Every structure is written in C-alpha cells, then in structure tokens.
Amino acid sequence: MLEMGPVPFFIEYVAVPSKQEILGYGLWLVFQGTLYAYLPGRSKGRPTPAGHVLDYHTNGFLAWLITTTGFIAGIYFDVIDPTVLVNHWGGLVTILNVYGFILATVAYLKARLASSHPNDNVHLGNFWYDFFMGVELNPRFGQDWDWKLFHNGRPGIIAWTLIDISYTMYQYRTFGYVTKSMLIVDILQTFYVVDFFFHESWYLWTIDIVLDHFGFNLAWGSAAWLPTIYTLQVQYLARHPVELSMLNAAVLLLTGCAGYVLFRSVNNQKDLARRTEGDCTIWGKKAQIVRVQYTTTDGRTNQSMLLCSGWWGIARHVNYVGDLMLSYAACATCGFTHLLPWTYAIFMTILLVHRCLRDEARLSAKYGDGWKEYCKAVPYRLIPGIW
Ligand code: NDP
C-alpha cells in the first residue's frame, strides 16, 4: 500500500459489492432487527447519569439460537451453501465498512437533531471527538428499540458464529478435513458468544452500555471491526491449516476454557455483590467491601460499594485476565509464522489495558478517598506482583 499509494491500492484491492450482496446484508439487518423487536425477554438497565432507567430487549440468546439453527438446518437441507460467507467475503467486508460509516454519521446527526434523551448527551463541541466517541448515550427508535445494544450485539456477534461455520466448511471443502486448531477456535468462540447472549442482562451493567456513547467507535467497531477482525483466526486457518499435536491442542483448549471460566466467575462475583449491595457470600465467606460515595450533577450524594474479596481481592481488573487467556489461546492455534491472525489478541491487550487506565481515572475522580482505600486493599490492576 505504501508503494502504490492509498487510492490506487483501494481501487485495486477493495471489492465492489454486488447487488445481491447489498440486498443480502440489508435483509440480514432487517431480520435481526425484527428478532430484536419481537422476541420475548426484557430487562432494566442501570440509571443513566440523568436518571433514566431504560427497558432493554434482552432476547439475544433466542435470536442467536434461531439464526444459528436456521443456518445449520439450511446447510443440512441444501438450501444454504455452507461457504456462502467465504464466497462473498470481499463484497461483504466493503459493505460492513460502508454501513459502519453510515451508521456513525446517522447517529451523529440524530444526536444533534432528534436525541432520545438530550440530558444524557455529551457534546464537547469538537466535531471529530464527538463523531468518534459519540454524543448520545442511548439512541433509540421510540421508547425501547436501542441502537447501541442492538448493534453491539446482534448483526456482528451473531454473524461471528456463522462466519466461523462458513470458514470451517471452507477448510473442509478445500482440504477434505477439519483441523484440531480450527475446532478449538470454533469451540472457544462459540462459548464466548453464547455466554455473551446468555448473560445479556449482565451486559447492561458493563462499561459499553453504562458509560460509552454511541459514535463511530462503537458503530463502526461493532458493524465492521468485530466481524472481520475477531474472525481472523478462522479466516487464516481455512487457507493455511495448522496441525497441532494432541498435547498442544489439549493445552490450548484447556487454557482457553480456563480463561472462559475465570472470565465468567469473576464477572458473576461482581454482579452478585452489586445486586445484593455486598450482602452475599464469596468463596464461602461474607463478601468484603469498601463503602464509597459519589456526588451526581444534581448535587445529591449517593452510596455505592467496591468488592475486594474473592477474585476481586486478587486484582482490580481480574475479569480482563480471563478474556486475555481466551484470546491468546485462540490465536496460538494459528502458530507463530504470521502476525495477522494474532491481531485479535494484540487488539484485546491494547483495548483492555487502555480500559483499565480509563476506568480507573474515572473511578478515582468519582469516589475520591473511597477509591484510594480500595486501591490500598487491592494494590494490583491486572496481574498481582507485576501491574
Ligand atoms: P467491568 O465489568 O469490570 O466494569 C467496570 C465497572 O465496574 C467500573 O466502572 C465500576 O463501575 C465497577 N467496578 C469496578 N471495580 C469494582 C469492584 N471491585 N466492585 C464492584 N464494582 C466495581 O468492565 P467492562 O465493562 O470493561 O468489561 C466487562 C467484561 O466484558 C470483561 O470481562 C471484559 O473482559 C469484557 N469485554 C470484552 C470485550 C470484547 O470486545 N471482547 C470488550 C470489552 C470488554 P461503577 O461506576 O458502577 O462503580
């Protein structure tokens, strides 16, 4: 690209999508949007800074199940070509990127012209910052069709499983077998995706939903970055099969599963402690907490708590460690000859380290002395003794 220059590079290599691909993606969005709107399953979010307590459609598991079962049944009954997504990948990548840009632009204009909850907007007045980080916290159609929850989850994360299936079938068609490395990635990523949807009401309490505004960062990230970059391992393995010994396969599978168990167990502990306000048992003992308080923009003082026992007594962001173990195990199935399939693990490391710093700066300002007391009780961020 550096030799050719960006414009000739894009003209040469960016696939022009066909009408059929554009229509296919449009139907995909409509289908997922309809499942999101009509399937049963509702939960309440946390109060927003302006005090709105919003209803969310938490029916992601059902939507994933219907879509994935339908895709597999379509393959079984010869209605869907198993490698359909691989065959149209070039055009789809272009469409995903264009859609991500359009979505971010529409989100920005909506925030300016027809914001759902204007008193939750953050508008710094710098166009590029506002466009990138987002102005609206919870853009919606009507009362409860939430743009952020829908886009962060449905079109991208449900597609993740279908892309994995499609590339696995491509490997099978091309080479006549499916490698252990491919199966390990499929297993680990399916765990992760199913977990995400199964615990969707928990997701309403995470930084993505509680704090992050809906701008280019989330719109393009969920529409284009997630389905193309999070699936790089299967894209690589489908064309460059890696044969793992039984021992290496077992080590990677166990490491990935251990990462998943850690991720889920840590997140469950915090969820339990927050929902019971610390009146619960962690690892067989009464939860230890630090009571903290903060002041909201209306001048009111509010009480909260930070858990500092169980996993949360070991490090302040130990939930990120599980996620990282899972990402590194999945990438390691691709071997060490190419950097590209490692993009996911490298990205997760940067994202989560940056999140630690960003979240801690916010919590320190929010809780003041309470935060200092908590950091004294739990001195490390990610790995005890190191950082
Ligand atoms: P957390 O779920 O850890 O949420 C952080 C918030 O939790 C803080 O802002 C604070 O909120 C509260 N909190 C912090 N420490 C404590 C404590 N000791 N006790 C009680 N509450 C506490 O972080 P994320 O939302 O970033 O991540 C959630 C999960 O999602 C993680 O496991 C992460 O790995 C995963 N993830 C995956 C991504 C992917 O692309 N695959 C991207 C991002 C995250 P408050 O202001 O309420 O005090």
Same structural domain, 5 and 132? yes
**Closest C-alpha residue for ligand 1 atom 4:** 206
pLDDT in the model for residue 301: 84
pLDDT in tens, 267-302: 999 989 998 998 899 999 999 999 999 887 777 788
pLDDT in the model for residue 302: 85
Ligand 1 atom with least separation from CA of 46: 47
DSSP string, 237-251: HHHS--PPPHHHHHH
Q: Is the CB of 359 under 6 A from ligand 1?
A: yes
**Closest C-alpha residue for ligand 1 atom 21:** 306
Distance CA 33, CA 20 (A): 20
Number of structural domains the chain divides into: 2
**Cβ contacts of 129 within 8 Å, gap of 6 or more:** none
Terminal Cα-to-Cα distance of the chain (whole angstroms): 38
* Six token digits for residue 231: 């699936």
pLDDT in tens, 307-357: 999 999 999 999 999 999 999 999 999 999 999 999 999 999 999 999 999
Same structural domain, 217 and 254? no
151 and 223 in contact (C-beta within 8 Å)? yes
Amino acid (one-letter) located at 227: P
Same structural domain, 239 and 249? no
pLDDT in the model for residue 1: 64
Same structural domain, 293 and 239? no
- Residue where one domain finishes, among candidates 192, 214, 243: 243
Distance CA 277, CA 307 (A): 9
Same structural domain, 211 and 250? no
Q: Is the CB of 365 under 6 A from ligand 1?
A: no
**Cβ contacts of 57 within 8 Å, gap of 6 or more:** 36, 37, 39, 41, 42, 144, 145, 146, 149, 150
- Residue where one domain finishes, among candidates 196, 223, 243: 243
Same structural domain, 147 and 285? no
Domain enclosing residue 5, as ranges: 1-243
Same structural domain, 170 and 287? no
Ligand 1 atom with least separation from CA of 266: 32
| Phi, psi dihedrals of residue 307, rounded to the nearest 5° | -75, 135
Closest CA relative to residue 45, chosen from 215, 214, 195, 210: 210
Distance CA 36, CA 149 (A): 10
Q: Rounded to the nearest whole angstrom, what is the distance from the C-alpha of residue 319 to the centroid of ligand 1?
A: 8
**Cβ contacts of 254 within 8 Å, gap of 6 or more:** none
Same structural domain, 142 and 103? yes
Same structural domain, 34 and 182? yes
**Closest C-alpha residue for ligand 1 atom 16:** 306
Residues of the chain with pLDDT under 50: none
Q: Rounded to the nearest whole angstrom, what is the distance from the C-alpha of residue 273 to the centroid of ligand 1?
A: 13
pLDDT in the model for residue 386: 85
- Residue where one domain finishes, among candidates 224, 243, 262: 243
Same structural domain, 184 and 269? no
Q: Rounded to the nearest whole angstrom, what is the distance from the C-alpha of residue 299 to the centroid of ligand 1?
A: 26
Distance CA 83, CA 167 (A): 7
Same structural domain, 254 and 370? yes
Distance CA 158, CA 32 (A): 9
Q: Is the CB of 268 under 6 A from ligand 1?
A: no
Same structural domain, 117 and 224? yes
Q: Is the CB of 319 under 6 A from ligand 1?
A: yes
